[in-house]
Amino acid sequence: MNASGMAAAVAARGIGDNAPRPIDLATERVDELVAVADQWRKLKELPNGETAADAVDFDRQLFGAYEQADAARAAARKPHADAAAAVQATWKPPLEKLAAAREMIGDLLRRWASDHGSVRGRLSGYLYTPHRSWKATAVTDIAEACSWAIEHHRADLESWLIIMASRAARSGQHAIPGFKIEEELS
């Protein structure tokens, strides 16, 4: 089954559907490929060009199966991510209105409490402090952003860079400046 077929299977399932789940289909194919890979593992080296060509073909099958399984995973996750985004979008406007109203009332109470010291203590735990969250939405200067990340989040940055370089290495780039690339044996 290809990625679009798996994605369609994810979307088409309904009540009473007894068809195999996409994960079951993917797992079946993965198990078949791994069984063949175990046979290849018995070879210590490739004896000739014909066997090498067969190994290349098999590697393409492995890569294709990986891409299909990853696409099916993404398709299975998408409705949940979309639903979460829809919930956030639905509830954001009324929550923002309530937060703004509480902030306005809190400002009035703080000004009043500053003139009436005896009441200030009773209000201090009750007064609303607005909850604001912030997020970065764009990189405006890549060099400055990298410098900041190196200074404040070096370990996270290195982990992310290793993930990106590993993707490139799996795609055939075995010489990537600034990285040590090693063959991974399983």
For 35-167, strand residue ranges (E) read none
Cα dihedral sign, 140-142-147-148? positive
Q: Which amino acid is at 51?
A: T
The mean pLDDT of the chain is: 83
Q: Model confidence over 137-174: pLDDT tens digits?
A: 888 998 999 999 999 999 889 989 999 999 999 888 98
DSSP secondary structure, 80-118, as one string: HHHHHHHHHHHHHHHHHHHHHHHHHHHHHHHHHHHH-HH
Domain ranges within the chain, ordered by starting residue: 3-134, 140-186
Question: What is the predicted pLDDT for the residue at 124?
Answer: 58
Query: pTM of the predicted model, to two decimals?
Result: 0.45
Residue 168, SS3? helix
pLDDT of the residue at 122? 61
**Residue 25 — pLDDT band, cuts 50, 70, 90?**
confident
Cα-flanking dihedrals φ and ψ of residue 155, to 5°? -60, -45
Q: What pLDDT, on the 0 to 100 scale, is given for residue 126? A: 62
The rounded Cα 93 to chain-centroid distance in angstroms is: 27
Torsion region of 182: left, alpha or beta (phi above 0 gives left; psi -120 to 50 gives alpha): beta
